Structure 1
Amino acid sequence: MDAPLAAQRALNEPPTTDELLIAPSLERRRLQCYLALMAGDTLSILGGFAFSGYFYAALNGLTYSAFYGMLVLPFFLTLALYNGAYSICALREEWAGIFRALAAIGVAVGVVLLVQFLTMPGMDLSRLMFGGGVILAVILMVALRLRLRLFVNWWCGPSVINELIIDDGGPHMHIPGAIRVSAAALGLRPDLYDPNALDRIGLALRNIDRVIVSCPADRRMEWAMMLKGANVDGEVLDDQVMRLGAHGARTVGHYGLLLVSSGPLGLRDRAMKRVFDVVLASAAVVALLPLYLFITLAIKLEDGGPVLFVQRRMGRGNRFFNMYKFRSMSAGLCDAEGNVSASRDDQRVTRIGRFIRSTSLDELPQFFNVLLGDMSLVGPRPHATGSLAGDKLFWEVDPRYWQRHGLKPGLSGLAQVRGYRGATDHERDLVNRLQSDLEYLEGWTIGRDIQILLLTLRVLVHHRAF
């Protein structure tokens, strides 16, 4: 959104008070959108149950099912208001609002069934009619919310909040959809000893939902103090936050603290990921047992050396663990430190080793690392400590390298399914992997793990697997 013409004035020609209105208010329009969503959801529930009843038993069924629709509705609206089905997030992202509304109707239906079981155990409930009403209500709700997205975009514009960036001589920043103005052009000064200056800023912040100020370090305190009384969500740009990679801030007593690290997953997510790993890894070991025996026999018959290659790798929390692979190189030429990456015509690789490396079968023993808890099915691939990207150690290429160890390393990962695997001949080869690993850490879901595992099937045989 472009700044108003007044923002382009010179400092010696500040705009008048009437010209300080930067944006029209969106608060009332958001409220109207919430009411439209609520009306649509109400119509979906009552209409879904009514249609199901009428289709099943004509007018008698209509009365019967409408009764249950009216029982579900108040529970749904209470839960939907509580879980954010009518919120700024729901207006910004239609599917986020849809999922929250569906969660609310699911719980509401469960509550109605429980209430009937406890208070009216003898009342006959038509499962077909009730179930049909729930299904139709869900379908109508999704369809109406998707259609109402057009109304929200038309009524509120591309952004459902007014976000303002005040440039007061600090670093330049850009946020899609935000209004950007010059403090100098508008005559805005955070002078805490001048009520007229504060009034002028207050006028400029009318109808603004969130304001970000970019200014030099010596003026941040004045802007911070001014914003505290501005009745608006206010933030002051501080480039130190970016340099430290801070995730948040808090105060303890008289101390201000920046949160610079946190575990990527909470207890529930870690438990879910661990159960997922153990179940699938156990099933894989049982299903692949004949293949394990065949590869073991083939390696032994070729040169009589050890079947497994054990190498120390860096895992979660920057701690070492022993990673297992089927040995693919001659026993006396194995590189325990990983100082030399395998090349396409590497003379160290045995005949059976070349086959199992090209098909990723050499990685199969890592299912036991998963069962031992050292690894996960999906996560950043563990690297040998001596690995090089070009002529630099991995952590010398990018200081963010150590952040990838916030989760357990994986048999496969986002970098691998994107094709970033094999030798790291150039620094860019590592940077591409690192970007994918950090992206995975930031947005973990169990659904994404499943997706990565399915995509892994496409890259088991890879032109860089040698």
Structure 2
Amino acid sequence: MSAKKKQADTYTDTAQLRAELTSAMSAPRASVRKEDEKRTGQQAPLPSMPDRRRRRKSVTDIKVTEKQSNLSAWRFVMRSLDAFAVIYVITVGIWNGYIGANNNGIIAPIAAATLGSLFFIGLLILNRAHSFKPTERYLDHMKTVALASTGALGVWLTIALILRPDSFLPDTLAKSGLLATGVLLALHTLYYMHIRRLHENHALAPTIVMLGATESARRIIEENARTKELNILAIFDDRIARAPHDIHGVPVVGKVEDLLAWDKLPFINRIVVTLPSMAAKRKQAFVEQVRLLPNRIAFVVDEFETLNHVRQRVSEIAEVSLRDVTGSPKSGRHTALKRVTDIALSSIALVLGAPILLLISIMIKIDSPGPVIFKQQRHGFNNRIFYVYKFRSMKKESEDLKAERQVTHGDDRVTKLGRFIRKTSLDELPQLLNVLKGEMSLVGPRPHAVGMRTNGKDSMELVEEYAHRHKVKPGMTGWAQINGSRGALETAEDIATRVKLDVDYIERSGFFFDLYIMLMTLPVLLGDKDSIR
């Protein structure tokens, strides 16, 4: 048999085998279709071929971390702990070594401890030992801390050796410095483990979405793939038909209207507009669509469009090369101090006020049937929804969870006891629990009910800047409350006044300003005879 004849027979056998296999695989499907046709009396549809075209991701495919922390605040806390530990260890070590030696008084150990502590703390800050970048390895971080500590110890001993005061005890200084170094290494091991866990859970890097699938967006995403300092979730572009499915793994998921309707938008830290300067009209249109959101909105400045992204740090892009449109967030120091103050004062108030809280609870149960605590959905930071706690002041059957009807003078829904605790604001004491949970602060704009209505209209639709009051956590008291804007909001003018005072507070907020508002709250409450509460 010729070679061509053998090859032809092989092709024939292969074709027959393929046909038989196809027939055998399709036979069960055909029999099933026939049985379905007999049972239903209708012709069964032929099986459809799967659509192998690539599907564009949507906002429902994007995973958003809801439990987020502030890295700047953590850095402030860690610097403060380091400072306390260094001052304590060095002061105690030198005190024990100096007192009783060479007839020294207290001046020598205090001066030596102060000088040493300043060197240790200063070199830790200069060496950026509290940066905790996402890509930093443990050994590299420990090396930074060790170099800063040993450098501080070396400078400290050198200066003491040059000055050679009568009270100079090099052994005591060396032992105190080495002990401080060991304590710092132990502390930073704990810091590193905690911060690493937060980074792995995407709880520290700012959560960002971009408007515009552009070259600037590509540069930021490429650099961020190396540094991982930002958590870039998605890109939105109104020209979605022209846009790619993704840019280096970051999906292009929809238009701006999809962003505005996204239920996870309250957990986005910053919206970045990445359109170039030549697209000024599109950039302005994007900003107009999103500028009333409480989220921080920024756009890439023109200078960044010419930078070499390989040399440009993402942290610099986030802090320098982006210009905020709706204001900058507060510093880590401000955030940390405010949270520490909230936890400390609310804890003390709950402990000292426990008898009063218990008495009010008993009186509510005696006064009218129903639960002691009333829970209602309110808008918090970035429009996040949470349940606010209050002592129930209304009849159980008259509860208005959506605040569609605000309380008026002589409102028959309010109980006898309810009138008293509302008038004195005692009904708001359970919100101390909201403060402890981190949903509220002691001072801030008062949280309004979700769906609150004024004159039959949604209150938040009456004032354009309404959402700006949600740029910070809501508070138990605030600048608006001590300036007469308390109780029901009956007109659009009332809402505009409240929003103006709330935005004014956000711009001026600080530790001493908050303290002033807290001190002024009680006399304002006691002297307020006009507000309906």
TM-score, structure 1 normalization: 0.48
What TM-score comes out, normalization by structure 2 length?
Answer: 0.42
